[in-house]
Amino acid sequence: MQCCGRVAVLHPLVAVTHGWQFKETLQRSPERSGWKHEGQSMWNSGRVVLLLGSFIWRRCHTSRRTSCRSAPPVAFVGGVPPEMESEEVQKHLQQYGSCRVVKRCRGYLYVRFQEAQDLVAAVGAKHLVGGRDLTVEVAKAKKKQWYCEIDPDYPPRIRRLMDGVVHIQNMLSMAMQINIAKQVISLSSARAGFYTPRFEDRAMRLRMFCLGRHWDTQTHSYSDVRSDCDGRPVLAMPSNLKELVEGILSDLKQKCQPMAHKAHFPPMEPDTCIVNWYSTSGSLGVHQDLDESEQSIAAGIPVISISLGSSARFLYHPDHPDIPKDSDGCDGCDAISPRSALLRSGDIFIFGQEARRLRHGIAKVFPRTCPKKLVEVIETDGEGEAGRLNLTFRQTR
């Protein structure tokens, strides 16, 4: 410690020579290090100081360079309630100078000022907006951040599969996946939890329960009670899941600037989440999600799906309105070969806009693909294999 302060002001080459003098301080005990000779120990301590000196020198240099560069005039605005429009905050801050909101997150947002002195003036003032006391500080984060706490070792990858269809790989960190899975499994233990629905008189190859509104597989409609099952009221949709969906859409909007309109979905107010649990022999036939309101479908409001646990082969058909349909409304799609995507734990799949009527299904769930940390959380099937949880969020009204 003592030597660090001194070495910090030196160039690494100078530090080598000083290393000889500091050998008493830095020399490791011969028993622990195995260094035998005085000469060698002096050389080694010199090397330690060289490395240390070089490290500190680089740190000093880098921090000097950084501090010389003026920080971008971006304000962090905290205490923003979800219902407050970003424009309202922007308008309020424009009294200090030209500025615009550059990022909106849960509870806070970032505003970029054109002039640094305007930011300084805003930081020193009190901000009462719509009855809320907002805090305005100089933003510390220089990098764009995701709403979701992603795993830095596995950065998300956005794949635009076709217009209106986006697959985001690795979007949710393991911690987030575990939290969501735990929350859903604990909700499913309520009286209105998982059951095996029937579709056209056949048991579906999955178990299901809904949050917000119930999807009746017999009448193909949404209701507030489990009308095709036990008549119980449907469980409420937790606000954190709703916020998660909004956060995913806002992340996508920000991260996909180059794709611009191709990946921008209309704003969404998810009122329903269908939770599916598949065993490793489970599947879901190709279908279209058309039971939501006509307005919701026509506006291209997306269906957002979160995958947790074992991986699955997701099939989708590009929608071809020209292909004649039979009485089931779906036979024509057999003529087109389906495309597929492998959905892994933590992935998000979104379809909306012109692809809102996408035909899709789950062909297969793969055994031995569930991340270890989720095996304990997600229910296992008869074979002891962890299944797959899927949450699809929709705006049904």
Closest to ligand AKG by CB, 139 vs 206, is 206
* By CB under 6 A, residue 274 contacts ligand AKG: yes
CB atoms within 10 A of CB 300: 16
Question: Minimum distance between the CB of residue 54 and ligand AKG, rounded to whole angstroms?
Answer: 52
Closest to ligand AKG by CB, 222 vs 314, is 314
Task: Tokens for 273, please give them.
Answer: 């989440």
Question: Minimum distance between the CB of residue 135 and ligand AKG, rounded to whole angstroms?
Answer: 40
Quick one: which of 103, 104, 360, 364 contacts ligand AKG (CB under 6 A)? 360
Quick note: the x/- pattern for ligand AKG over 12-51, rule CB under 6 A, is ----------------------------------------
* By CB under 6 A, residue 314 contacts ligand AKG: yes
Q: How many chain residues interact with ligand AKG (CB under 6 A)? A: 11
The CA distance from 165 to 318, in Å, is 10
Residues of this chain, 61-90, that bind ligand AKG according to CB under 6 A: none
Question: Minimum distance between the CB of residue 365 and ligand AKG, rounded to whole angstroms?
Answer: 9
Instruction: Collect all residues with Cβ–Cβ distance below 8 Å to 150 and sequence separation of at least 6.
Output: 156, 170, 171, 172, 173
* By CB under 6 A, residue 311 contacts ligand AKG: no
Quick one: which of 276, 279, 280, 395 contacts ligand AKG (CB under 6 A)? 276
Residue 329: burial class (beta carbons within 10 Å; 0-12, 13-18, 19+): exposed
Quote the distance between the C-alpha of residue 153 and its chain's center: 14
Question: Minimum distance between the CB of residue 258 and ligand AKG, rounded to whole angstroms?
Answer: 27
C-alpha triplet 209, 210, 211: angle, nearest 5°:
140
* By CB under 6 A, residue 392 contacts ligand AKG: yes
Name the residue with the smallest CB distance to ligand AKG: 390
Among candidate residues 185, 167, 198, the one with its CA nearest the CA of residue 386? 185
Quick one: which of 118, 271, 289, 347 contacts ligand AKG (CB under 6 A)? 289
Closest to ligand AKG by CB, 345 vs 390, is 390
Question: Minimum distance between the CB of residue 263 and ligand AKG, rounded to whole angstroms?
Answer: 19
Residues of this chain, 328-347, that bind ligand AKG according to CB under 6 A: 343
* By CB under 6 A, residue 169 contacts ligand AKG: no
Rg, C-alpha atoms of the chain: 28
Closest to ligand AKG by CB, 7 vs 304, is 304
* By CB under 6 A, residue 396 contacts ligand AKG: no
Task: Tokens for 14, please give them.
Answer: 């100078």
* By CB under 6 A, residue 272 contacts ligand AKG: no
Do 241 and 391 contact (CB within 8 A), yes or no?
yes
360 is in an annotated binding site: yes
* By CB under 6 A, residue 211 contacts ligand AKG: no
* By CB under 6 A, residue 296 contacts ligand AKG: no
C-alpha triplet 27, 32, 36: angle, nearest 5°:
65
Quick one: which of 390, 393, 395, 396 contacts ligand AKG (CB under 6 A)? 390
Residue 333 Cα distances to 64, 225, 361, angstroms: 63, 33, 13
Do 81 and 134 contact (CB within 8 A), yes or no?
no
Residue 320: burial class (beta carbons within 10 Å; 0-12, 13-18, 19+): exposed
The CA distance from 166 to 304, in Å, is 10
Residues that bind ligand AKG (CB under 6 A): 274, 276, 284, 289, 305, 314, 343, 360, 362, 390, 392
Q: Which residues sit in the known binding site for Fe cation?
A: 287, 289, 360
